[in-house]
Structure 1
């Protein structure tokens, strides 16, 4: 039986968390040595913010890396009691994509890990075998059952409303560098069976600078069961304008399981984030919803406050906190890409 048949489902990100998992960066896959050091203050600020409301469980590549992190916690005002370590070989930092997908069951204490395969966004950044092994390792550490669908799937490519619907993009999940043997219909069947959803909604593409082939967590995100934020680019000369306009047009044609249309809230993109001649995929959609609040990447431009104010109106029940991501984004991802929530059971 599939997880869906047993009543399991992937909850919305605003479902209460036991912890957040991250994989601490340690090599130059995403940040060269000097860039790695420059991004540490932003990375530890992210850890501190999450730790205000839940445990932060950190995959670390070695005992030496654990010792380094522990030595830094006092300087950043982080309570060591809120930090736990899982010492295992790792390749890179993007836990959203290589981390475990935790499922829960209504009115039950049962939880389950889905161990999707991971190939570093179509084999772009080998080696990735250590990261691919992490979900199974974590499931064993937590004494949780796990299932392995046997196909490539990344956490940043999907977003959930917790009420039976998942959003994704054709440019990523239908890319021949992921699962070339599968049709769109077959991929939808995997999503439904292993994430416990009943509906798959598709947009076309992702933003400039996104080396994941168009992850949804840079473009469209659920903020409640029937509302999404959609990134838009008002500047018609910008390369993101047409792509995001096309996605928006598609969203306006979509309906949810009950037949109602999506409520769509538009958020303007930040100014282009160009570092060393490279345009990074800066986007306010890459926020992370944790127990302590909604952690939003900001980029030192005028749109920052516009995005934060919109999100404050959409999340009246929790703080919306802007944190600098100008150094982190050089690695081509941000807060949502770096994190994976471990949801609490439903009882």
Structure 2
């Protein structure tokens, strides 16, 4: 029997007007256990910045404890939404739902399966968070939940321009432990159908040592508007990433926007090596978060931070780029974009 065609939605760009950002709070019993105070301090700093500009949903185990630790002015508490739910970990970008609109501008959150980046880590609780947010009435009443658990998909694997272009990586979406029953063509057709796309741009090169995600696009190259791509460029020929990132750059230069023109390209420096217990970690400046008025850029406390900020500011002349110390987050192989998820205007 022929499978019924997927209902088509529109996947907004990250720069689409937003109503809220989500964080999933670290706690004992997660991989953060051994450095819980350090990572909590990082989350507090990030949360306080976000609360100044947008609503913030915090999924946590103990809402009273989180509120106490945040210790923000009463004026900012109106932006804070605390939701108690069990969690395995804190990577909201990948376990959070994907916000979309239909042709009548009705709002939906698509709940895909998160399987711990290809069965690498437990995800049983994280997979229930999106349903839990609806049960607790976190979203506006006209936002509908859609169960898409028959497909594995993470937010960090998707870059949308909101106009019909999706940028992703073949290494991640073709990972054998995600959707191995589907061919590349079938996966592409599925994405085009469900997100109402004109096309999928596949990056076939580029990786970061220590990355558990199988090369999520948000670690390598990002759409900054429908005509601009910022990407990681390695200048050191002795670096293990040099060849792969050079091939990635050459491929990006061949991409064209929907008007048929080459993309405006902005290079981000390869972050200085971060090595813990002899292992290089996937530090990257591509893991930034676009918000309504600002862009939050991960900092790693090196000389490259200022260079990255200056470069990224070129892509966002109407938003202030703010550096956020992510030296704690990177110790668990992720960064700023990985721990956040945005919801469009009218969702929260």
Q: Normalising by the residue count of structure 2, what TM-score does the alignment of the two structures yield?
A: 0.91
Cα pair 1:21 1:95 within 8 Å, conserved: yes
Q: Which residue of 1 aligns with 2:258?
A: 257
Within 5 A, what are the aligned runs for 1:67-216?
A: 67-74=64-71, 79-105=76-102, 108=105, 110-126=106-122, 128-140=123-135, 141=137, 142=139, 143=141, 144-149=143-148, 150-204=150-204, 205-216=206-217
In 2: Cα distance, 1:12 partner to 1:22 partner:
19
Measured at CA, do residues 228 and 318 of structure 1 come closer, stay the same or move farther in structure 2, by a change above 3 Å?
Answer: same
Deviation at 1:75, TM superposition (A): 6.7
Q: Which residue of 1 aligns with 2:283?
A: 282
In 1: Cα distance, 2:287 partner to 2:185 partner:
27
Q: Which residue of 2 aligns with 1:47?
A: 47
In 2: Cα distance, 1:32 partner to 1:77 partner:
30
Cα pair 1:298 1:326 within 8 Å, conserved: yes
Deviation at 1:177, TM superposition (A): 1.0
Cα pair 1:209 1:332 within 8 Å, conserved: yes
Deviation at 1:130, TM superposition (A): 1.3
In 2: Cα distance, 1:300 partner to 1:68 partner:
29
| Deviation string, structure 1 residues 60-94 (Cα, Å, up to 9, x no partner) | 13xxx212111112279993222111212211100
Q: Secondary structure at the match of 1:166?
A: strand
Q: Secondary structure at the match of 2:223?
A: strand
Cα pair 2:224 2:316 within 8 Å, conserved: yes
In 2: Cα distance, 1:32 partner to 1:134 partner:
20
| 2:329 counterpart of 1:339 | no
| 2:63 counterpart of 1:66 | yes
Cα pair 1:114 1:194 within 8 Å, conserved: no
In 2: Cα distance, 1:145 partner to 1:120 partner:
25
Q: CA RMSD in A?
A: 1.9
Q: Secondary structure at the match of 2:178?
A: coil
In 2: Cα distance, 1:78 partner to 1:222 partner:
34
| Number of residues of Structure 1 aligned to a counterpart in Structure 2 | 337
In 2: Cα distance, 1:15 partner to 1:26 partner:
31
| Deviation string, structure 1 residues 176-234 (Cα, Å, up to 9, x no partner) | 01111011111112212222322111112421111111111010001111110010111
4+ runs deviating over 6 angstroms: 75-78
In 2: Cα distance, 1:254 partner to 1:134 partner:
36
In 2: Cα distance, 1:139 partner to 1:74 partner:
27
Deviation at 1:323, TM superposition (A): 1.0
Deviates more, 1:223-232 or 1:18-27: 18-27
Q: Secondary structure at the match of 2:129?
A: helix
Deviation at 1:345, TM superposition (A): 4.3
Q: Secondary structure at the match of 1:317?
A: coil
Q: Secondary structure at the match of 1:79?
A: helix
Cα pair 2:230 2:268 within 8 Å, conserved: yes
Q: Secondary structure at the match of 1:285?
A: coil
Within 5 A, what are the aligned runs for 1:10-21?
A: 10-21=11-22
Q: Which residue of 1 aligns with 2:6?
A: 2
In 1: Cα distance, 2:39 partner to 2:72 partner:
15
Q: Secondary structure at the match of 1:145?
A: strand
